[in-house]
Amino acid sequence: MHLSARRGYSARLAAPHPDPLVTRTTRCLTPPSLAPGARVALVCPAGPLRGAADLERAEANARSLGWDPVVGRHALDRRGYFAGDDAARLGDLNAALRDPGIDGIWCVRGGYGAMRILPGVDWDALVRRPRVLLGYSDITALHLGALAAGVGTLHGPTARAELTDFSRDSLVRAASLGSDPCGTAPSARTLRGGRAAGPLVGGNLALVAALVGTPWAAQLTGAILVLEDVNEAVYRVDRMLTQLRLAGALEGLAGIAFGHCTSCEEESDDGARTLDDVIREHAEALDVPCLAGIPLGHIDDQWTLPLGTRAELDADARTLQVVERGMA
């Protein structure tokens, strides 16, 4: 780790968190939109690619959106279940953050490993020149790190995804047009009625829970919590939500917009509970509106959500609308 990064990490550990309302509503910067010809770094800060075809598809996706892809040096590295060792993955990410010619960073895949490099990320470089950071799943660790630094990000498809028309449309609106990339979710389920307004914060539930107690923990006072996950039994979803509540992480929450929990079994040897029952129970305990089944998560058709940006949730109307872009 670079000495300045180590010092910054120590300072964050020693200093109290900034007031979450200040961080989320008055200091969150939104990076400029990606115009045609924007240079977009393709990096792998977590799990490895299956092969060159994944990277080729990522480059093709970037070009199809009018962007110029710049592949990270270690994008095709593999070390066990990581895309290279921590130093290699961190090096590619920091190289992109420090390069004045890079306009955006698109993570090629999720997997696991992004939280391991959080202490060494050059967040100061991102603050000096905010730029788009795009991805989902394990990339939630980087989203929360950027939000802690006061910079908004885009929770959306990874670069290697096979983009559907639905996902592409939302991605373009979020990353290139700076317009509302969300809207009505007709197949979503109202678990607890009501309306809420606040910045969008969250991502993958497992990462949100895992970062509790760290300098990069989600600050959720006044926020709309957006969540998704994959391959988690319902009892584990319950356990993670319970952990967040017991840790006090959900105090002052404005609302919940839950996406999809893909391949999340509802039955175990000890019995069964539905995912909706679990989420509803927590929403009722928190006394907040809750909508489940929005197009978010490990699914083909997904919204790209501008995290850190103010939005309005109407659980009865089954809508989530971004109402403010730029500095909030």
152, 177, 202 - which closes a domain: 177
Give yes or no: 298 in active site: yes
Q: Do residues 200 and 314 both lie within one domain?
A: yes
How far does the chain reach from its first CA to its final CA, in angstroms? 33
Q: Within a domain: residue 228?
A: yes
Catalytic residue selected from 33, 155, 228, 260: 228
For residue 28, the model assigns a pLDDT of 87
Give yes or no: 228 in active site: yes
**CATH number for the domain including 115?**
3.40.50.10740
Q: Are 317 and 206 in contact (CB under 8 A)?
A: no
Cα distance between residue 43 and residue 38, in whole Å: 16
For residue 210, the model assigns a pLDDT of 98
Q: How many CB atoms lie within 10 A of CB 85?
A: 15
Q: Do residues 51 and 97 both lie within one domain?
A: yes
Q: Within a domain: residue 273?
A: yes
177, 210, 240 - which closes a domain: 177
Q: Within a domain: residue 163?
A: yes
Give me the count of residues in the chain. 328
Cα distance between residue 127 and residue 221, in whole Å: 22
Catalytic residue selected from 143, 155, 282, 298: 298
Q: Do residues 291 and 216 both lie within one domain?
A: yes
Q: How many CB atoms lie within 10 A of CB 317?
A: 14
DSSP per-residue letters across 103-129: -EEEES--SS-GGGGGGG--HHHHHHS
Q: Are 323 and 311 in contact (CB under 8 A)?
A: yes
Q: Within a domain: residue 14?
A: no
Q: How many CB atoms lie within 10 A of CB 280?
A: 18
Q: Within a domain: residue 10?
A: no
Q: Do residues 41 and 127 both lie within one domain?
A: yes
Cα distance between residue 12 and residue 31, in whole Å: 23
The H or E element containing residue 242 is helix 234-246
Q: Are 261 and 167 in contact (CB under 8 A)?
A: no
Q: Do residues 205 and 151 both lie within one domain?
A: no
Q: Do residues 166 and 118 both lie within one domain?
A: yes
Q: Do residues 86 and 121 both lie within one domain?
A: yes
Q: Do residues 75 and 117 both lie within one domain?
A: yes
For residue 8, the model assigns a pLDDT of 36
Task: Answer yes or no: pTM beyond 0.85.
Answer: yes
The one-digit pLDDT tens for each residue of the chain (328 residues) are 333 333 333 333 333 333 333 333 345 899 999 999 999 999 999 999 999 999 999 999 999 999 999 999 999 999 999 999 999 999 999 999 999 999 999 999 999 999 999 999 999 999 999 999 999 999 999 999 999 999 999 999 999 999 999 999 999 999 999 999 999 999 999 999 999 999 999 999 999 999 999 999 999 999 999 999 999 999 999 999 999 999 999 999 999 999 999 999 988 777 889 999 999 999 999 999 999 999 999 999 999 999 999 999 999 999 999 998 643 3
Q: Are 115 and 207 in contact (CB under 8 A)?
A: yes
DSSP per-residue letters across 262-297: ET---EETTEE--HHHHHHHHHHHHT--EEE--S-S
Going by C-alpha positions, the residue among 318, 317, 322, 319 that lies closest to residue 307 is: 322
Q: Within a domain: residue 3?
A: no
Catalytic residue selected from 33, 137, 167, 176: 137
Q: Within a domain: residue 2?
A: no
Q: Do residues 172 and 200 both lie within one domain?
A: no
Q: Within a domain: residue 328?
A: no
For residue 3, the model assigns a pLDDT of 33
Give yes or no: 59 in active site: no
Q: Do residues 192 and 289 both lie within one domain?
A: yes
Provide the angle, in degrees to the nearest 10, between the axes of the packed helices 234-246 and 275-286: 10
Provide the number of structural domains found in the chain. 2
Residues sharing a CB contact under 8 Å with residue 108, sequence separation 6 or more, in sequence order: 42, 43, 44, 49, 54, 55, 58, 75, 158, 159, 160
What residues make up the domain containing 261?
183-322
Q: Do residues 191 and 267 both lie within one domain?
A: yes
Q: Are 274 and 141 in contact (CB under 8 A)?
A: no
**CATH number for the domain including 270?**
3.50.30.60
Q: Do residues 69 and 193 both lie within one domain?
A: no
